Amino acid sequence: MQQLVTRQQAYFQTGATRNYDFRKQQLRRLLELVQAHEAAIAAALMQDLRKSPMEAYATEIGVVMEELRYHLRHLRSWMAPESLPTPLIHFRAKSYTLAVPHGNTLIIAPWNYPFMLALRPAIGAMAAGNTVVIKPSEAAPAVSRILEDIINKHFREEYCKVVSTDAKGAAALVEQPFDFIFFTGSSEVGRKVYSAAAQNLTPVALELGGKNPCIVDTNMHLEITAARLVWGKFTNAGQTCVSPDYIFVPRSMEQPLTDAIIRNIKKCYGSDPQLSGSYGRIIHEGHWERLVGLLKDCQIVHGGSADKEDLYLEPTVVTCSDPKAAIWEQEIFGPVMLLVPYDDMEEALATIRQHPTPLVAYLFSNNDALATRLMREISCGDFVINDAVVHFGDIFMPVGGKGQSGFGKYQGKATFDIFSHHISVYHKRFFPDLSLRYPPYSGKKTSLFRKLFAFTYNR
């Protein structure tokens, strides 16, 4: 791994990756390869997570393709200097920022969206002119093999390389002197990555999880709210870092909303979701056992059926009145929807504040004043009104966490930006060269300088 990083650093120093034509060529090649391997990628996602062809395209393959096309369309303009205003006191100078690559970058991807969350950051890294090491999740071996086929067989390893290794190998990678590390995964592992990167003063972006709260207001559309909650919670069998974790339901609406949620579960996945071609599976036995264990302290309202051999857990709706139960202490990260009845908004907000800052907070309401208030009062990475999860596919919207849910925004141009160092450039001409700035200073010079300052900065 040390040799790989050394070779990539040496290749970056040649300047080959900085050229616009080179960057564009690599992005085009990657797009062509994803298109050519689309069926194999979908098959790998089916093997690892039982993702349906529709879900595989909508949440992974299609997202990567559109990210590539978007970068290809805008790369030249993003690479151009961005002008800044220059004060008059700096006459005959110009100021601007310029996006330059960090250098040698590392991307550590998770297992829940193993294709998209490996290549989406890589697109930004390549577009920004970096060399790239991609470490996919060992928990999704079929997708890891496809990533190796796409990257390692078609790109020179000193430019872009997929390294399939275990946790020990990943730890060895993080210890290398990368110029930038992008990690997506759990908060527990994120802390270890952050700590190891600090030894080399390597900047890091962390996309972590969190118990994402969702507040349902009385002023909402019942059936659409239920449908969007069901889709957002049970897509990918709930194994989504931005899925609603616990849902506050007005006590007066608890039964109607619960009934609507159950109706929509049956509408989406049938009377027996285990037979549905649209419903995924849990990634491995350890995660399945953890999720089943969470149900022990809960009151099951709907679902609860589980099959370890099939790694199946039915879309499940629960309540839990014990604040010390495991389901309140952990991010659920699975197909278990926790409903929490509330009587007033302050009660819901107090509960949210007891938990670490979430990756995203949700509100379902037609009350715009309430939305404006809550987006300012709830500390979170992002805020979504009247939908769930879909903001992660809005290519124009930077997404990312805050505090214990991570830091660093990406998606669309923000992906290019996070893999770039934005240097500030000040360019001054030699003439005129006013003597006012140089000693010896006099009262007259000071008075004139103060007036010039006031005129320049108070406009």
The catalytic position among 60, 158, 207, 331 is: 207
The catalytic position among 55, 60, 214, 241 is: 241
Cis check: omega of the bond before 81, within 30 degrees of 0: no
Is residue 331 flagged as an active site residue? no
Is residue 241 flagged as an active site residue? yes
The sign one gets for the Cα dihedral 13, 14, 18, 23 is: negative
Q: 116-127 and 20-36 are packed helices; what angle lies between their axes, rounded to 10 degrees?
A: 160
Burial class (CB in 10 A: 0-12, 13-18, 19+), 452: middle
3-state SS, the chain, equals CHHHHHHHHHHHHCCHHHCHHHHHHHHHHHHHHHHHCHHHHHHHHHHHHCCCHHHHHHHHHHHHHHHHHHHHHHHHHHHCCEEECCCHHHCCEEEEEEEEECCEEEEECCCCCCCHHHHHHHHHHHHCCCEEEEECCCCCHHHHHHHHHHHHCCCCCCCEEECCCCHHHHHHHHCCCCCEEEEECCHHHHHHHHHHHHCCCCCEEEECCCCCEEEECCCCCHHHHHHHHHHHHHHHHHCCCCCCCEEEEEHHHHHHHHHHHHHHHHHHHCCCHHHCCCCCCCCCHHHHHHHHHHHHHCEEEECCCEECCCCEECCEEEECCCCCCHHHHCCCCCCEEEEEEECCHHHHHHHHHCCCCCCEEEEECCCHHHHHHHHHHCCCCEEEECCCCHHHHCCCCCECCCHHHEECCECCHHHHHHCEEEEEEEEECCCCCCHHHCCCCCHHHHHHHHHHHHHHHCC
Burial class (CB in 10 A: 0-12, 13-18, 19+), 163: buried
Residues assigned a catalytic role? 207, 241
